[in-house]
Amino acid sequence: MNIAVAQSGGPTCAINASLVGVFKQGIKTDKIDAIFGSINGIEGIINDNLIDLKRVIRTNEEMELLRQTPSTMLGSCRYKLPDYEKDSEVYEKIFECFTKHRIGVFVYIGGNDSMDTVVKLSDFLKTKNSDIKVIGIPKTIDNDLPVTDHTPGFGSAAKYVATSVQEIIRDSSVYSVDSVTIVEIMGRHAGWLAASTCMLRANGEIAPHLIYLPECDFSVERFLEDLRKEKSKHRAVIVAVSEGIKLDAEECGIENFQSGVEDVFGHKYLSGVGKCLERIVAKEIGCKVRSIELNVMQRCSSHICSKTDIDEAEEIGSAGLRAALEGETGKMMCFKRISDAPYVVTIESVDAKEVANKEKVFPQKWINAAQNDVSAEAENYFLPLIQGEVKIRLKNGLPVHFKREAL
């Protein structure tokens, strides 16, 4: 029997570690022959574009390098499977590819959109009375997948964000004039990553004075009120804001500040919330103001990834393949937290239907009454996820990343 693995959705620092987890489990399982990598997610299966991973990852050193390489080694996609009833052609192509290559297990590493594929594909295979198993491995820096305690990729993103915000706070406080610094952090509908900046308090550092999440209603008027209050206490005020907070264009007096292009899953590409708030502060308060967008560095800064995150991403990849070999299908693997301190998690499986196309938002119980900060309980939740550092391999003072030879 052969197996196939694919990566999908936005890149993270940990998605290649999950690939390594699947691969490692594959090479030590007797009944598995070839381990195929599908290029550009499910598109590689549809187009019969597979590579033999044993010819690509050849040494322990390469395996370690791949673990610390950001982004998806196999490429990614944002392809959404049609409903089988409406369009079965693509399903037949997938089935043909699986049959041709004797694929017994398909492991899909991705976010909630990818779990939609896991559900549809496993349902389809059941109608075919096929024995092929389909398993999902969670992945997203947004940490917004239901059921699982957290998602691989999030810990590394949070470690980068918290570290950078600590450095930005130092940077912003050097002048004797009043200033406001706004840091825009990724998170479409869930504010986990922006909220995680509260971790800075664990070391007695200043955390952002104001934290705004998409889980709360946002009002420009209240924002300016909050800001004036903080400005009376601090010379340099720091604001962390999720890209997904909803600004009222009319209230802002600025139009077209958020681009509205939708992708095939109906997500809006947001940008510019930080820039918009910067303009509002400049106009209404008039002090020195700067907005900073941490942008894709949040999902690809492997040089400062979390060892806990990378190790867990590998483990959950291995666990996914083991679950499939034990007969599970249509499932996503997930973390269950046993305790914060000492930090203990177990890995379980959950019906992918519970996850597909759903989002887990940041809980209201961890948001303060003024809706502009998060509680110490959140700090305890976040901290274990960023612990430990991966010993990054360097050459000429720069990171060495895994290179896929021309195939």
Give me the residues that bind a copy of itself (CB under 8 A), please.
Answer: 11, 40, 43, 69-72, 75-78, 159, 162-164, 166-168, 170-176, 199-200, 202-205, 290, 292-297, 299-304, 306, 383, 386-389, 394-401, 403
Please state the closest distance from residue 164 (CB atom) to a copy of itself, in A: 6
List the one residue out of 198, 173, 121 whose CA is nearest residue 352.
Answer: 121
Q: How many CA atoms lie within 13 A of 399 on its CB side?
A: 19
C-alpha distances (whole Å) from 78 to each of 43, 75, 92 are 9, 11, 20
Please state the closest distance from residue 129 (CB atom) to a copy of itself, in A: 32
Tokens found for residue 106: 């398909």
Please state the closest distance from residue 326 (CB atom) to a copy of itself, in A: 31
- Residue 217 annotated to the active site: no
| Local structure of 128: helix, strand or coil | coil
State yes or no: cis peptide before 399, omega within 30 of 0.
no
List the one residue out of 98, 92, 106 whose CA is nearest residue 8.
Answer: 106
Alpha helices by DSSP H, listed for 173-289, are: 192-195, 220-233, 249-252, 273-284
Q: Which helix (H) or strand (E) holds 212?
A: strand 210-212
Residue length of the chain: 407
Query: Of 10 and 21, which has the nearer Cβ to a copy of itself?
Result: 10
- Residue 249 φ/ψ, nearest 5 degrees: -55, -40
List the one residue out of 137, 146, 100 whose CA is nearest residue 117.
Answer: 137
| Local structure of 51: helix, strand or coil | strand
Please state the closest distance from residue 153 (CB atom) to a copy of itself, in A: 12
Please state the closest distance from residue 383 (CB atom) to a copy of itself, in A: 6
Indicate if the alpha-carbon torsion angle 332, 22, 150, 182 is positive or negative: negative
Measure the CA–CA gap between 245 and 371, rounded to whole angstroms.
12
Query: Of 8 and 25, which has the nearer Cβ to a copy of itself?
Result: 8
Query: Of 133 and 159, which has the nearer Cβ to a copy of itself?
Result: 159
Query: Of 45 and 162, which has the nearer Cβ to a copy of itself?
Result: 162
Query: Of 11 and 138, which has the nearer Cβ to a copy of itself?
Result: 11
Active-site annotation holder among 142, 226, 309, 311:
142
Please state the closest distance from residue 77 (CB atom) to a copy of itself, in A: 7
The catalytic residue positions are: 142
